[in-house]
Copies of this chain bind each other. A is one copy, B any other.
Amino acid sequence: MSSSQSAPAPAGRSSGEQAILDAAVRLFSKHGFDGVSMRTIAQEAGVSKSNIYHHFRSKEELYLAIMQSSAAWLSELVDTLAEGGGSFEHRLRAFARAHMEHLFAHAMTVRLLLREVFTGGEKWQRLLIDHVVGDIVRRLRAIFENGQAEGVLRSDLDPGLCAMQILGSNFFYFQSYGMMKFIPEVASARDRAQYSEAMADILLGGMLVAPATAERSS
């Protein structure tokens, strides 16, 4: 859990610069922008504070660089999420499971971006959505639209809304994972794969024992 989880190195980065980026990602994802000082980053990276300013104009620019490369990196990884074929149900289960693994495998980066997506300013939200979130939503939505075209998915459902259900379930699980062990009522959900499977069961088949094709009443 120590070395390799960070953004790519597109241009030739000096070892020092890379150390700075690694330390910054680690610290910012844990404590947020305001909770990390340049001195701490420098110390953690094993370089002088001045050296950071040699590579980055300001704290904001460093943060920006991290966010951008993280976003770009995650965006590429999203490509691997929904590459499979098979039935609608199989594709949806595969996507949900892959997305869940994806979140935990790159937890640091995800947490970093999540903070900005949920509490950041509009400009950041737009950027992140355009480059990361949008891709995921679009891909997932496509699965649901295909499902409707195949006649397998209920035609009265909004595909975008279905996508929200899957993503919401996964993101909430990801965010809650650390504290789930303190809630005995849901402690059984600590296994990711098991949870993902159960979630798909519910979303696909519903909760009711006698499925009356769910008439919608106000």
Contact = CB atoms under 8 A, between A and B. Distances in A.
A207 B157 contact: yes
Given A117-B176, A118-B176, A154-B207, 11 more contacts: A111-B119, A117-B179, A129-B179, A134-B185, A159-B185, A161-B199, A162-B207, A172-B172, A203-B207, A204-B214, A205-B208
The A contact surface, by secondary structure, is helix
Interface of A: 31-32, 34-35, 89, 111, 117-119, 122, 125-126, 129, 133-134, 137-138, 141, 147, 151-155, 157-165, 167-169, 171-173, 175-176, 178-179, 182-183, 185-189, 195, 197-199, 201-214, 216, 218
18 contacts: A32-B32, A118-B175, A122-B182, A125-B182, A126-B182, A151-B209, A152-B208, A152-B209, A153-B207, A154-B205, A164-B169, A164-B172, A164-B189, A165-B169, A168-B169, A201-B214, A203-B207, A211-B211
Nearest to A210: B152
Q: How many copies does the complex hold?
A: 2
Most buried by B among A32, A147, A151, A211: A211
Contacts of A187: 160
